[in-house]
Amino acid sequence: MKKMSVENPYKSDLEKILSHRYDQGADYWTTPDKRLSKGSPFSTLDCVLYLLELGMDPTDPLLEECAELIFSTWRTDGRFKLYPQGAIYPCHTINATSALCQLGYVHDARLQQTFQHLFTTQHVDGGWRCRKFSFGHGPETEYSNPFPTLNALNVFRFSDYLNKEPALDKAVDFLLEHWTIREPIGPCHFGIGTLFMQIEYPFQNYNLFIYVYVLSFYNRAKDDKRFLEALATLQSKLVDDKIVVERVVPKLAKLSFCQKGKPSELATLRYNQILKNLL
């Protein structure tokens, strides 16, 4: 995707994000004990992705230091421990890996080990599933969690496994089936309803925009009627061929690149990437 300059028109957004750098008591948007997901929407992992979205070069010293911080939580089995205590859930590893891939580390030997870990922990339905049952143990919790599965596919699109690995086709199939099921599934109850259908940007939660964006990289999805229905739904919301943000995390509402109810040039770049992927 085309990158924007770190100068105008998003300089004020960059400064706003950087202003939160020490909010949690340590540098790089984290806590002294390296809780890299704490403080959303201004956690370490969040802010790395915002800065990249706004055009900061991955080789910028700040982002290189962030990458080193994220890698410091890597374990030799391929997982990332984003909190000093407690279980390591698949979404922790997937989200850390996603940030590092977008920072340009996809071929790092540590991430190659992480890819193998993800393949070996794939659930029988093709997705990824944690064993945290906040909603009880109903039959719907036997499914994988759709959003972590989508994020995993977002990781693998950077890799040499893209459109070559049958296990990823199975993950695509699982997500396409969720378009049919619609109901909340997985231990974390991800559903496809009113909130899902609202375009959220930047990509933070399970919603129509990121669903179509990630699946557009996978040949398995491109001609599937369920994907095409999702794409058509997204396209029905365009205004003058631009993405209009329908939902944004409240604490990001004042940032110019993702204002609710207004067209977003950067979000439209993401949409244009979808069209390019389908050529």
Give the per-residue pLDDT at 138: 85
pLDDT tens, residue by residue, 121-156: 999 999 999 877 677 778 899 999 999 999 999 999
Give the per-residue pLDDT at 3: 47
Using the CB atoms, write b or e for 210-226: b if 16+ within 10 Å: bbbbbbbbbebbbebeb
Rg (CA), the chain: 18
DSSP string, the chain: -PPPPSSTTSHHHHHHHHTTTTTTSSSTT--TT--TTTTTTSSHHHHHHHHHHTT--TTSHHHHHHHHHHHTTB-TTS-B--SSSS---HHHHHHHHHHHHHTT-TT-HHHHHHHHHHHHT--TTSS---S--TT-S-GGGGSPPHHHHHHHHHHHTTSTTTTT-HHHHHHHHHHHHHHHH-S-BTTTTB--SHHHHS-BSSS-SS-HHHHHHHHTT-HHHHT-HHHHHHHHHHHTT-BTTB-B--B--GGGTT-GGG-TTSB-HHHHHHHHHHHHHT-
Given a contact cutoff of 8 angstroms between Cβ atoms, the answer to whether 249 and 203 are in contact is no
Given a contact cutoff of 8 angstroms between Cβ atoms, the answer to whether 191 and 134 are in contact is no
Give the per-residue pLDDT at 5: 41
pLDDT tens, residue by residue, 62-82: 999 999 999 999 999 999 999
Give the Cα separation of 174 and 154 in Å (integer): 15
Residue 4 pLDDT > 80, yes or no? no
The pTM for the full model equals 0.95
Give the per-residue pLDDT at 137: 75
pLDDT tens, residue by residue, 224-274: 999 999 999 999 999 999 999 999 999 999 999 999 999 999 999 999 999
Give the per-residue pLDDT at 7: 53
Give the per-residue pLDDT at 130: 85
pLDDT tens, residue by residue, 176-193: 999 999 999 999 999 999
